[in-house]
Amino acid sequence: MAKPGKVFIFFNCDAAKSEASMNIFYNHTIYKDTKTSRKNLWKKVKEEYGAERIQIATDDLPVVEQTITEGDPVEAGNFIQFGAIRAFECY
């Protein structure tokens, strides 16, 4: 069996980040673990922030960008309210 790759999905969600509030049919874009896809994931997070569907402290924006583009995107969720990034295996 081939080694799985990692993909990420951004979800809008409730403040508690409950899995029941994360709707794959609403947030259905999957981002690969590549430099280009991570930049697109950051772009999506910025769009959601700009539309005020998620909240991020202004001082945390650079940290969120770096975490998404260079670190572990899932960890960026620690700085996002009403949004989360989840990782999945992809074959």
Tokens 């996002």 sit on residue: 80
Number of separate domains in the chain = 1
CB 46 within 8 A of CB 24: no
> What does the CA dihedral 54, 43, 6, 67 come to, rounded to 10 degrees?
-70
pLDDT digits (tens, 9 = 90+) for 2-12: 788 999 999 99
In whole angstroms, give the CA distance from residue 41 to residue 88.
14
Question: How many Cα atoms are found within 13 Å in the side-chain-facing hemisphere of 49?
Answer: 19
| Model confidence, pTM | 0.94
Query: Which domain covers residue 79, as residue numbers?
Result: 5-90
pLDDT digits (tens, 9 = 90+) for 18-72: 999 999 999 999 999 999 999 999 999 999 999 999 999 999 999 999 999 999 9
